Amino acid sequence: MTTFCSTSLCPLLLASDTACDRPDAHGSQYNDSKMFLVWINEEGHLRVLCMQKGGNTKEVFTRFHNGLTQTETLFKSTN
């Protein structure tokens, strides 16, 4: 997984005075093909996206399942 967004605060959040309620541990990750993305503590606790062009839902679901399994393993290993 590659880091998409660092832990720096967005100027929009600072201007709207919501940055103080934002968790310190947040960021976004994506896979090499940029078809599976995970946002952690951005606007919600966890947001997961899995997508691709075309109509192969089995392939998308398999990627989604594998990505969630890897994310869960990572979370459990780091407490």
Give the residue numbers of the binding site for ATP. 47
Q: What is the 3-state secondary structure (H, E, C) of the chain?
A: CEEEECCCCCHHHHHCCCHHHCCCCCEEEECCCCCEEEEECCCCCEEEEECCCCCCHHHHHHHHHHHHHHHHHHHHHCC
**Binding-site sequence positions:** 47
